[in-house]
A and B are shown apart, each in its own frame.
Chain A
């Protein structure tokens, strides 16, 4: 159990996907200007990460490893993630239209989100079991959501801040990222 908690904390805050692994920077800088959007995006990413981790674990252990074709992992993972995103999108559209309206536009973007592919690659690299993969992807999603929401809150304020013209927008967002990174170092002693 403590092993699982340590995986969760490590992926969620200490080795946060955005802040310390630089995965998923596009949504971090792109959609994170409103807290509501950030929340929806974060939930959508967490959902896809969870399903993708489970699917890639089965692919890894039922196809790639038994047939000794682990070198095919990149092509398999990316196709599976693309297909999963389509299926999840269809499923949500059929079952819950209001949820679809909230998350819908973010789902297609997730296919090329490095955070999702990144977490499946990390799980494979660390050779996590099924349960560990699930915990690690949940941690990754929660960490992603957390940073996206924090960042969007800061950026709502930044919009009205009086920054030098050449710093406005992306450059100042990068500097905020740097400061967030420094604060997250505080979590280092947790494991």
Chain B
């Protein structure tokens, strides 16, 4: 069980997919305009990652080496389609605001990366731990970015339609830049520098 814990904790901070491994920027920058989107995206990524890690790990001994990557891509694309259909049916508002970034999970480097680098070499239990850890690490990173962007960019914070707080001054004059695309680069760049300063992120 200690192995399970080790693989689980690893993905959250030491090898955080976004801040340390610098993988999966595309969805992280695009959907971090609101906390709602960040949560939706994280749930989607977690589902696909968990599913693909389990299946890849289960078939790791029988999959022929030369068709390894195509097989992984088919597995990932299947889970992404399942997530798309489920989101479309049960959370249509979220499905719409995630737009093309939900299907684009299929080319998210984190997922193929974990399948290739971890799940294809390790047993199912540690692959599950790895998927959970990486998903939580991805979620925390996305949450930090989206909290900053939503609060500065709209002057308020809301969660699935409930307004949690409205900031003084900013509430009337939000810094719209932060929810526009350049704001994403700005926040991400400063956060990366901050994490590196704190020693969490290794240099290049």
Contacts and interface: CB of A to CB of B under 8 A. Distances in A.
Q: Do chains A and B touch in the complex (CB under 8 A)?
A: yes
Chain B contact residues, majority secondary structure = helix
A72 B104 contact: no
Contact of B192 (A112, A170, A179): A170
Contact of B189 (A26, A112, A172): A172
Contacts of B188: 174
Nearest to A30: B22
Contact of B109 (A75, A112, A171): A112
Given A21-B30, A112-B109, A171 B80 contact: no
B185 A181 contact: yes
B84 A71 contact: yes
B189 A117 contact: no
Interface stretch (B52-60, B70-78, B124-132, B164-172): B70-78
A73 B73 CA distance: 14
Name the residue in A22, A23, A72, A79 with the highest tally of chain B Cβ atoms < 10 Å from its Cβ. A22
A121 B80 CA distance: 14
A104 to B, nearest CB: 18
Interface in B161-204: 180-186, 188-190, 192-194, 196-197, 203-204
Contact of A74 (B106, B182, B183, B197): B106
Given A78-B77, A167-B193, A25 B29 contact: yes
Of the four ranges (under 10, 10 to 19, 20 to 34, 35 or more), the interface on chain B belongs to 35 or more
B181 A22 contact: yes
Given A25-B26, A82-B73, A166-B197, A174 B104 contact: no
B74 A79 contact: yes
13 contacts: A22-B184, A24-B26, A25-B26, A75-B74, A82-B70, A113-B107, A169-B203, A171-B190, A174-B186, A174-B192, A178-B183, A178-B184, A178-B189
Interface of A: 19-26, 29, 71-75, 78-79, 82, 112-114, 117-118, 121-122, 125, 164-175, 177-182, 185
Interface of B: 22, 25-27, 29-30, 70, 73-74, 77-78, 80-81, 84-85, 99-100, 103-104, 106-109, 112, 180-186, 188-190, 192-194, 196-197, 203-204
Given A25-B29, A172-B189, A181-B181, 6 more contacts: A19-B181, A20-B181, A75-B74, A78-B106, A112-B112, A117-B103
